Amino acid sequence: MRIPSIPGFNQQALEKYFKNTGMSFIGKVGSLLIKMLVGIAVARYLSKDRLGIITGGVTYVYLFSAIATLGLDQFIVKELHQYPDNRDRILGTSFWMKILASLSCIPLLWLAYHVYPAKDTPFTYILILSAVGIVQAFNVIDSYFQSQVQSKYIMQVQVIGNLVSAAIKFVLIYLKMPLIAFVFAYSLDFLLVALGYCLTYQRKGRSLFNWSYQNSLAKKLITHSWPLIISGIMVSLYMKIDQLMIQNISGIDEAGAYATVASLSEAWNFIPTVIVTTLFPAILNARRDDTARYKKRIQNLYDLMVYLSLPAAIVITFTSHLIYKLYTPEYAYAAPTLSVHIWSGVFVFLGAASSQYLIAENLTKLTFIRTGFGALVNILLNLALIPKMGMMGAAIATLVAYASSAFVIVFIPKVREQAVMMFKSLFLISLFQKIIKR
């Protein structure tokens, strides 16, 4: 298949990267479609109030996900790429680090719940969902296949896992099962994927039982990743704190309706992750070999993020009322909120790309500054806007916070050029320059 030409991109390189990304992208899109259909069915069955209750539990667990993952994923890929013969020690060390971090999150969840509880969400639900963090330690296998450019295996696991998960949820709806059954089903989603990863990894002479823990490697990984842990906590705050604040300020009905907005708007956020993960090795190679080519590839990456996110935001803005016809009428009033919230995706895409630059330049500490600033902006705006505007206020707060987080680097001299490059992409200046050169 011939990929359409994009101004400023090397056609052969684009096709090469498309092929490398293709299987993972197809898997993610397939999983997305399955999850969207299931999410709509579950929302229709549970209604706003019960959906709001379960969303509160999911939000709490997500807020601590950065601690459970330790910000290691990108560094695991980097280590495996540089030291392939050290595979078993890298995977084993990362796995046990994540297990320990996940277990440490349970008392932290209990403490956070008693300091700022999710209104009407029992702690029992949060405790059940906390098992997700332990199971996700097996995601180190995903990092291994990324380092081997073998995304097709991950795609197969994700699609099959999501199909099984969808079947289970439809059975629960058909049997009219209580809310607690869906709480267990959500945790089971991650267990299914983890089992799939393990079975896939065991093929071709690989074995989980060969994994080993190395204390010196653990210290090395945590030394590099701790800024990303803090940054991840900040990201979790400004991505999910709005849902928790809506639940406590406006009630579980509003939280349930807003949960559909967030799930639809954020469903596309896997796209920049897939793309930048695939292009990251090429960017690192250019940094090593050719500074001019390195800068050009970074600019092209920003351009690509805008080319993908901007049309999606425009289309969903004008079709949100049609999308909500798939839900029951009680959710329909959330459509205008989706039209605002979807624009935050443009800044998510740009932020994902610039984060790769920070990793390439060993400036990961700056991710703490940008995400911390975004979290602060989001919390303050949510406190000001939710009491007055409900979930529309939360959507505005999210949009402003994401934009602030992406572009706060304009005030940091050493990375100001990256903010300028993102501005050029956002306002299509870079695109016009490429067209003129042609």
* CA pair distance 216, 224, nearest whole angstrom: 13
Select the more confidently predicted residue: 324 or 433: 324
pLDDT tens column, 345-383? 999 999 989 988 887 787 877 877 888 888 889 999 999
pLDDT tens column, 76-89? 877 777 777 888 88
Query: Mean pLDDT across the chain, nearest whole number?
Result: 84
Q: Which of 20, 153, 147 is nearest to 87 (CA)?
A: 147
Pull the structure tokens for residue 428: 């299509």
Q: How far is CA 17 from CA 22, 172, 287, in A?
A: 8, 41, 17
* pLDDT level of residue 149 (50, 70, 90 thresholds): low
Select the more confidently predicted residue: 67 or 93: 93
pLDDT tens column, 115-125? 888 888 899 99
Q: Which of 269, 50, 297 is nearest to 176 (CA)?
A: 50
Q: Which of 27, 44, 59 is nearest to 255 (CA)?
A: 59
The sign one gets for the Cα dihedral 265, 73, 161, 185 is negative
pLDDT tens column, 9-59? 454 554 555 555 566 666 677 777 888 889 999 999 998 999 999 988 888
pLDDT tens column, 199-233? 888 887 788 888 888 888 888 888 877 777 777 77
The sign one gets for the Cα dihedral 75, 80, 85, 91 is positive
* pLDDT level of residue 8 (50, 70, 90 thresholds): very low
pLDDT at res. 22: 60
* CA pair distance 188, 183, nearest whole angstrom: 9
* pLDDT level of residue 429 (50, 70, 90 thresholds): confident
pTM as predicted: 0.81
pLDDT tens column, 264-319? 998 888 788 778 877 777 777 777 778 888 888 889 899 999 999 999 999 999 99
Q: Which of 354, 293, 32, 16 is nearest to 162 (CA)?
A: 32
* CA pair distance 20, 5, nearest whole angstrom: 18
By CB neighbour count within 10 A (0-12 exposed, 13-18 middle, 19+ buried), where does 414 fall? exposed
Other Cβ atoms within 10 Å of 11 Cβ, number:
12
Identify the three-state secondary structure at position 130.
coil
The one-letter code for the residue type at 220 is K
- Residue 4, pLDDT above cutoff 50: no
Other Cβ atoms within 10 Å of 216 Cβ, number:
9
What is the distance of C-alpha 297 from the center of its chain?
Answer: 23
Do residues 312 and 266 make contact, with C-beta atoms less than 8 angstroms apart? no
Q: Which of 232, 238, 312 is nearest to 271 (CA)?
A: 312
